[in-house]
Amino acid sequence: MTRLSMTSVAAFAMLGTAAMAQPMPNPNEWTGEGAISAAVITGNTKSTDAGIGIKAAKQFGDWRVKGALGVDYGKNNSVESRNR
């Protein structure tokens, strides 16, 4: 019984690893990632922050083009503390 259980666990572990593997990206396609963040903190002071970020890249033969964009905004006690 124990031997069968251990074999089943090993099989499921290998199955999960294969399912999580990602294919190699096509060099003719854009690749990238994005992020969104937000926070609201209250107490003696009130702080509000928000942000967005994007990164992208593409391969053109021997050349690789990459770019990034980020925006942050924040207020602390109704005073703008971050704006970039």
Report pLDDT digits (tens) over 63-78. Answer: 889 999 999 999 988 8
Task: Please report, for the chain, the start and end positions of each structural domain, with discontinuous segments joined by +.
Answer: 2-78
pLDDT at 52: 95
3 state SS for 26-76: CCCCCEEEEEEEEEEECCCCCEEEEEEEEEEEEEECCEEEEEEEEEEEEEE
Higher-confidence residue of 43 and 22: namely 43
